[in-house]
């Protein structure tokens, strides 16, 4: 089943994998910050979301430092960022936990942004997508790299109705910032 007209309002789940992180010695995984490339790519992801008219009504972000920094740099590209919930369940989560987090979104939220990690995000996108436009599904199956954005669209009256195969994967993009144009934090 794919996104259908008439079954409720159009909703979008925008999935953003955190930007490239660094691997400092002796730093716990949850505390790893963004690398220089990640600090360039995260703002590019924010600009890409604005350009494709995918600004969220609500964001749910992993509590890991690299995910929080990705959110901060991406959302700084918008006039007024939406509310964000930092949820520790998103860190190292599999599909069932991620789907539980998504299903908790209030009914008035039409576009939800989920900022987190692989392999969970990639698996979530593939689980929810009943179909994809062009080669979007193949792109995700090949690789869902850092800073990747996937947009899933579906019609429903509540987020609790989102399930396996119910969404259409409408867009996959991997924004990259230009070298020499790092973000100031």
Which pLDDT tens digit goes with each residue over 75-109?
999 999 999 999 999 999 999 999 999 999 999 99
* Both tokens assigned to 165: 């195969």
Closest listed residue to residue 162, CA positions, set 109, 99, 119: 99
Q: What is the predicted pLDDT for the residue at 62?
A: 98
Domains along the sequence of the chain with CATH: 10-22+30-173 (3.40.50.1240)
Is the pLDDT score of 168 beyond 90? yes
Region 148-161 average pLDDT: 95
Q: Which residue has the tokens 């953003």?
A: 16
Region 133-158 average pLDDT: 96
Is the pLDDT score of 164 beyond 80? yes
Q: Which helix (H) or strand (E) holds 60?
A: strand 58-61
Q: Which residues in 64-76 are b (16+ Cβ under 10 Å) and which e?
A: bbbbbbbbbbbbe
Q: Residues 20-70: pLDDT tens digits?
A: 999 999 999 999 999 999 999 999 999 999 999 999 999 999 999 999 999
Rounded to whole angstroms, the Cα distance separating 70 from 33 reads 9
């Amino acid at each position: 089943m794919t996104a259908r007209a008439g079954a409720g309002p159009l909703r979008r789940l925008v999935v953003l994998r955190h930007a490239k992180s660094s691997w400092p010695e002796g730093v716990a995984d949850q505390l790893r910050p963004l690398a220089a490339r990640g600090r360039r790519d995260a703002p590019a992801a924010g600009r890409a979301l604005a350009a494709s008219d995918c600004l969220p009504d609500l964001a749910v972000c992993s509590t890991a430092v690299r995910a929080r920094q990705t959110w901060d740099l991406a959302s700084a590209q918008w006039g007024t960022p939406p509310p964000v919930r930092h949820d520790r369940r998103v860190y190292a989560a599999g599909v069932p936990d991620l789907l539980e987090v998504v299903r908790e979104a209030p009914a008035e939220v039409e576009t939800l942004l989920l900022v987190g990690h692989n392999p969970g995000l990639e698996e979530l996108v593939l689980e929810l997508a009943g179909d994809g436009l062009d080669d979007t599904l193949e792109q995700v199956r090949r690789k869902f790299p850092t800073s990747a954005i996937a947009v899933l669209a579906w019609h429903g009256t509540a987020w609790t109705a989102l399930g396996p195969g119910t969404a259409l994967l409408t867009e996959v993009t991997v924004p990259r910032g230009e070298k020499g144009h790092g973000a100031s934090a």
